[in-house]
Copies of this chain bind each other. A is one copy, B any other.
Amino acid sequence: MEPMSANILVVEDEPAIQELIAVNLRHAGHRVQSAGDAESAMMIIRDALPDLLLLDWMLPGLSGLDFARRLRQDARTRAIPIIMLTARSEERDKVAGLEIGADDYITKPFSPRELNSRIKAVLRRRTPHATEDAVEIAGLRLDPAAHRVFGGGHSITLGPTEFRLLHFLMTHPNRVYTRAQLLDQVWGDHAFLEDRTVDVHVRRLRAALEPTAHDGLIETVRGSGYRLGGE
């Protein structure tokens, strides 16, 4: 599983370190772009916003600190999470690094594991849960925060995929979705799976809903796909 895969821009002037980091991040499943100075970085960012910025404090020309400050001034780039890379001798500067709003920082030398751990933590923090509001339709209640489903008061156990499937359907009722659309929405658009997989999971979901007679909620639309009916 790699839901934590991200586009990461590494700004680091030392080629050896830059490569070391890039290799590590790619190995962890991320897409990596590299820049040796602030100006190249800016150009990359102009084309596409990265999900995360790894920024060396010491850069030729515009310093990492100034670069970060500039990013924070622009509405388009303000929200990019930034992790600062600093050498241990630059202790005093950390205060300044945090001042401009870096999300975290790592002191060199650092282990690959620490790097990955901090990246995960920052990405996680920046991605608030989609919607944690409970949904209820026809006596069937799904609570994302508690990760629970109740059918007329009785607890219903679902596997992770069935849970996501039901969650999606309940938040998008009265509308037909093709199997391909469901695969995109529930499994993620970069998963290549058979259409029939949806059938099977619908079957499993219905089976789980049967004890409380909620299985009829999920309707088959022949030739099109599935729909969760509200009326």
| Interface set of A (CB-CB < 8 Å, partner B) | 38-39, 42-43, 46, 62, 70, 73-77, 91-92, 94-95, 98-105, 113-114, 117-118, 120-121, 124-125, 145-148, 155, 159-160, 174-176, 180-181, 184, 189-190, 192-193, 221-224, 227, 231
Asked whether B43 lies within 8 Å of A70 as measured between CB atoms, the reply is no
Contact of A121 among B62, B77, B98, B189 (CB under 8 A): B189
19 pairs across A/B with beta carbons < 8 Å? A42-B98, A43-B94, A73-B101, A74-B98, A75-B125, A76-B103, A77-B98, A114-B192, A118-B192, A121-B184, A121-B189, A124-B180, A124-B181, A145-B174, A147-B221, A148-B174, A159-B222, A159-B223, A160-B223
Q: Measured between alpha carbons, how far is A120 from B148 in the docked complex, in Å?
A: 34
In the complex, what distance in Å separates the CA atom of A105 from the CA atom of B77? 13
CB closest chain-B residue, reference A81: B75
Q: Given the interface contacts A92-B39, A103-B75, A146-B174, does A98 sit within 8 Å of B70 by beta carbon?
A: yes
